[in-house]
Copies of this chain bind each other. A is one copy, B any other.
């Protein structure tokens, strides 16, 4: 058995939760901040049999992979007019940092 610890952006968190459930995996979510990813993030703990690790990783990749996203220009009213870019820009969003930890023993009560 393995424990998969995945740190993902908050914006991908609910889609990942749902996809894990749909694929029959059970996860616990821990509130987390900063660090591996810049924006607010969520840490998922998922316990799985060794032969299912790649299936879980595929679900995480499908839902959280780092990607470019078009972002509408911010109103110059909100910030510094000097840094105002009057056209949509591509920003990097998503991404997941995943650790697969060995588990010595698993119990359910």
Majority SS at the chain A contact face: strand
Task: State A31–B30 Cα separation when bound (angstroms).
Answer: 6
Q: Which of A58-109 contact B (CB under 8 A)?
A: 60-61, 64-66, 94-109
> A26: which of B35, B57, B66, B105 is its contact (CB, 8 Å)?
B35
Is A28's CB within 8 Å of the partner chain B?
yes
Known: A28-B36, A32-B28, A34-B27. A45 touches B106 (CB 8 A): no
Is A29's CB within 8 Å of the partner chain B?
yes
Known: A33-B29, A35-B28. A108 touches B104 (CB 8 A): no
Nearest residue, chain B, Cβ from A53: B105
Return chain B residues, CB-CB under 8 Å to A31.
Answer: 30-33
Q: Which of A5-27 contact B (CB under 8 A)?
A: 5, 7, 17, 26-27
Say yes or no: A99 contacts B47, CB within 8 Å.
Answer: yes
Return chain B residues, CB-CB under 8 Å to A34.
Answer: 17, 27-29
Please give me the 3 A-B residue pairs with the lowest Cβ-Cβ distance, nearest first: A28-B35, A100-B105, A98-B107
